[in-house]
Structure 1
Amino acid sequence: MKEPARTLAWDDFRLIAAVAETRNLPAAAARLGIDHSTVFRRLRQVEVLLGQPLFERHRSGYTLTPAGEEVASLAARVDEDITAVTRRLAGAAPAPSGEVRLATSDSLLELIMPMLGRFRAANPSIRLDVVTGNAALNLSRRDADVAVRATDNPPDTLVGRRVARIAWALYAPAIRPTPHDALAESDWVCLGENLAGLKVVRHARAMVPPERIAGRFDTVLGLARAVEAGVGVGHLPCFLGDAWPGLTQLAPPVEEYASDLWLLTHPDLRHTPRVRAVMDSLAAQIAEKRALIEG
């Protein structure tokens, strides 16, 4: 007699538990660090494998069927056992060591640099090789071990977690604040062609006449310095603009300009102790800063 439940992997149980707890696929996807379509596809595969539905779909969300309740209960028990064993063995396990190559942008490095300092203090055996730039490195070719990126569409070839939503707002120099009713006559600055995919750049092109754009900059830090220097008003990430002494926020964050902040790695590296240590530390510290990041 075929026993399909024996072929389920632990990741399948984690997925079922996430959907059961959140009751909707987007929230479960965010918890697992994968996209919505992947959750839908994998859940369907598990239900086909078991030969019966695990959830009933309602307008209010996903609710467990009797079979789903049994599988979700098993997932909870296994998770508790894994956590207990991990805690017992943690004291005997050697401290993670080695080198981790971390890729991020110049502006995000401003955000995470203090976090990297605290991480190193707690993990002196891990060496950091930090690469900055706005072009995404190919983690599939191991150009980097961990990527800290702002994106709404992380590559399907990578795994990780969405840790925050980056808000953008309009800023001007703090010493020469621009009245909101004078914005129609203000000069503007924006990001350059290398970042033309960002929503704020598309806004500048669509809403601001070309003759009013005083400058374009290929880095977010360069843009922030231009705003501070009075070259023009411009949109910046709130974690940068609100923490910059020379800038003042002119208007609340614009939701449609926001983007997700992800910690990403290659699937082959996700359980490597040194990589896991970096990602867990950054995730915890970014969570503490979510109010600033999300405006």
Structure 2
Amino acid sequence: MTADEIPRPPPRLGTHGLALDDFRLVRAVAAAKGLAGAAAELAINHSTAFRRLGQLEQTLGCKLFERHRTGYELTQAGEEMAQIAARMEEDAAAFVRKVEGKSLSPAGELRVATNDGLMTPLTPIFAAFSKRFPQIRLDVVLGNAALNLSRRDADVAIRATERPPDTLVGRRIATIAWAVYGRREDFADIAPDDPARFAGRSWVGLGEDLAAIKPARFVRAQAAADQVIYRVNAVAGLIDAVVQGIGIGPLPCVAGDSNPALLRLTEPQQDISGTLWLLTHADLRQAARVRAFMDFVGNELTRLRPLLEGAVPRPGRSPAPAAPDGLA
């Protein structure tokens, strides 16, 4: 074995011989409340995490965690170390953002966070962007969970929100309109202004994971519990459920009005609408790849504003009629 092949220990800090990885370990164990989750987060095996934590506590001469049947709980010393680890992580992320913010070439990986319900208009835009900027690799992350752009969960977010965080900058794109839709063939013999079109209809809604968002609350307000026969934890799944005729339900107009198999049964519902934003972290806004994406995608989405806001009449569709019992 040559000198270059001899494994080198991680860099140590101070007189106690602490390593940067020691802080990462404590933070990971605290977040996971156990070794198994921490080991998975750090891409090490369970026995390595167990050994390293034991060695760290021995080096420091104090316990960092209390071991309980319900999980690992931080001691006071562990809490202080976890807080230092969090600050170190934030400082490192801020440094990377500032360095990347000075990049001059529109190239490299760009992580974009958005919702699955927006992919109908976004996929063609992403395809055009990739053709225009072939040196930028897109990594699209779908979901409704809260993201921290400061920690680089994503570089850019395309999300519906009423209050973007103060640390983010960007542009307001449009109002995201939602309306109630049904499968067109199920309403072939019913006049569009017939109040009976809602009578006895089954509904589809969003699952418990999304119970707090506006469309889920809307269905609970409009339909009795036994009328909601199908729930799914993704807007794309909700769209598919209505297309398959499982029931009627609220959908984003940009998806519903683009699908000839669907019939809009109401005007856009104000109780469900949201505001679409294109956002990035302030430190990244001057990065060439971020600037290219924000400009290109922002302009393309702005052109789609009438469709996003439910203002584009569909061929062959009568104007959406008034609906009974509070539906408009």
**Please, what TM-score do these two structures have when normalized by structure 2?**
0.59
Shift in Å, 1:276 = 0.9
Tell me, in whole angstroms, the C-alpha distance in 2 between the residues paired with 1:94 and 1:204.
48
Q: 1:151 aligns with which of 161, 178, 184?
A: 161
State the alpha-carbon separation in 1 of the partners of residues 135 and 197 from structure 2.
Answer: 54
Please give the alpha-carbon distance, in whole angstroms, between the structure 2 residues aligned to 1:165 and 1:209: 28
Residue 170 of structure 1: aligned partner = 180
Residue 97, structure 1, aligned to residue 107, structure 2: yes
User: Does the 8 Å contact 1:100/1:126 carry over to 2?
Assistant: yes
State the partner residue of 2:245. 230
Q: Which residue of 2 aligns with 1:36?
A: none
What SS does the aligned partner of 1:256 have?
A: coil
Q: Does 1:251 align with 2:266?
A: yes
**2:123 aligned to which of 87, 94, 113:** 113
**Equivalent position SS for 1:255:** coil
Taking the aligned partners of 1:95 and 1:143, their CA distance within structure 2 comes to: 22
SS in structure 1 at match of 2:157 = strand
Distance 2:181 2:307 in 1: 15
Give the Å deviation of 1:226.
Answer: 0.7
Structure 1 match to 2:280: 265
Shift of 1:94: 6.3
How far apart are the structure 2 equivalents of 1:173 and 1:182? 12
Percent identity of paired positions between Structure 1 and Structure 2: 49
- Deviation track 1:82-125 (CA, whole Å, cap 9, x = no partner) reads xxxxxxxxxxx965111111111112122211011111111111
Pick one of 205, 219, 234 that aligns with 1:204: 219
Residues 101 and 130 in structure 1, CA contact (< 8 A), matched pair in contact too: yes
Q: Are residues 157 and 196 of structure 1, via their aligned partners in 2, closer, same or farther at CA, if it must alter by over 3 Å?
A: farther
Which one of the candidate residues 164, 172, 185 is aligned to 2:200? Answer: 185
Counting matched residue pairs gives: 203
The separation in 1 between residues aligned to 2:308 and 2:282, in whole angstroms, is 27
Larger Rg: 2
Amino acid at match of 2:136: I
CA drift of 1:220 comes to 0.6
User: Residues of 1 paired with 2:275 and 2:204: CA distance?
Assistant: 23
The CA distance in 1 between the partners of 2:104 and 2:219, in whole Å, is 52
Greater shift in the superposed pair: 188-197 or 281-290: 188-197
Asked if 2 retains the 8 angstrom alpha-carbon contact of 1:162 and 1:260, the reply is yes
State the 1:214 CA deviation.
0.9
Give, as a single letter, the amino acid of the residue that structure 2 aligns with 1:106.
D
- Which residues of structure 1 form unaligned runs of 5+? 1-92
The alignment's C-alpha RMSD in Å is 1.7
Q: Cα distance, 1:279 vs. partner?
A: 0.9
CA distance in 1, matches of 2:251, 2:200: 20
Q: What is the SS of the residue equivalent to 2:166? A: coil
Equivalent in 169, 191, 195 of residue 210 of structure 2 = 195
The residue aligned with 2:290 is 275
8 Å Cα contact 1:186/1:233 also seen in 2: yes
Deviation at 1:248, TM superposition (A): 1.0
Q: Which runs of 5+ in 2 are unaligned?
A: 1-102, 311-328
Once the two structures are superposed, residues 225-272 of structure 1 have per-residue CA deviations (whole angstroms, 9 ceiling, x without a partner) of: 111111110010000001112211111111232100011111111111
**Higher helix proportion:** 1
Runs of 4+ in 1 over 6 A off after TM superposition: none
What corresponds to 2:150 in structure 1? Answer: 140
Q: Say which is worse superposed, 282-291 or 126-135, in terms of deviation.
A: 126-135
**Superimposed CA distance per residue, residues 160-216 of structure 1 (whole angstroms, 9 cap, x where no aligned partner):** 111111000110001212744230321111112222232221121122110111111
